[in-house]
């Protein structure tokens, strides 16, 4: 997961004192420092941000903390967080770590399902090849047509289309 901390380094701005307060009170806490080691941490000076970046981040005011999961999805946004306590920051960080772990677990489960589906598609392709070798062209063509329409493995779908053309040209 990641923490994006928007602050201002321009001491002429009123927000600078709030950023300083957050730095001194929260980011110096041993518990927060310990939790922060589990994150990729970014500190961005809002005074130096380009206009397009401000728009992309929805014009963050300093100080703002944005918590992202490892896929870049925003999990929490804490604007005007200068009055946050170290205990609150630590609690939020623990919640983000748990939510990130859940997102990773879901991703791995979906990846495993996708790999299983691809393995099944490859088995179907091999079955179609065996039908071709046995001279059962109509059955093989039907199976290749089914495989050519799937979207999970583009290379396999493209090869199925090639096989269909080969059957049409009588090359097999």
For the chain, what is the mean pLDDT? 92
CA 110 distance to own-chain centroid: 13
- pLDDT tens for residues 107-148? 999 999 999 999 999 999 999 999 999 999 999 999 999 999
User: Which pLDDT band, with edges at 50, 70 and 90, does 171 fall under?
Assistant: low
Specify the pLDDT at position 52: 87
**Two structure tokens written together for 162:** 């090639």
For 74, phi and psi rounded to 5 degrees?
Answer: -70, 125
pTM of the model: 0.76
> What's the Cα-to-Cα distance from 20 to each of 10, 49, 87, 130, rounded to whole Å?
11, 19, 18, 71
Give dist(CA 158, CA 77) in Å, integer.
Answer: 44
Q: Is residue 3 within 8 Å of residue 65, measured between CB atoms?
A: yes
- pLDDT tens for residues 31-72? 999 999 999 999 999 988 888 888 888 878 899 999 999 999
Q: Is 83 exposed, middle or buried (0-12, 13-18, 19+ CB in 10 A)?
A: exposed
């Amino acid at each position: 997961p990641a923490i994006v901390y928007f602050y201002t380094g321009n001491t002429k701005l009123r927000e600078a004192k709030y950023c300083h307060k957050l730095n001194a009170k929260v980011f110096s806490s041993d518990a927060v420092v310990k939790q922060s080691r589990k994150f990729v941490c970014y500190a961005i000076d809002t005074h130096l941000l380009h206009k397009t970046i401000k728009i992309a981040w929805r014009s963050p005011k300093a100080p703002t903390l944005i918590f992202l999961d490892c896929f870049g999805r925003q999990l929490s946004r804490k604007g005007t967080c200068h009055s946050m306590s170290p205990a609150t920051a630590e609690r939020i960080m623990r919640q983000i770590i748990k939510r990130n772990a859940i997102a990773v677990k879901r991703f791995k489960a979906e990846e495993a399902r996708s790999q299983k589906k691809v393995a099944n598609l490859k088995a179907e392709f091999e079955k179609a090849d065996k039908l071709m070798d046995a001279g059962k062209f109509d059955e093989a063509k039907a199976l290749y047509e089914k495989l050519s329409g799937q979207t999970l493995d583009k290379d396999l779908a493209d090869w199925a289309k090639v096989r269909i053309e080969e059957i049409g040209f009588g090359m097999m």
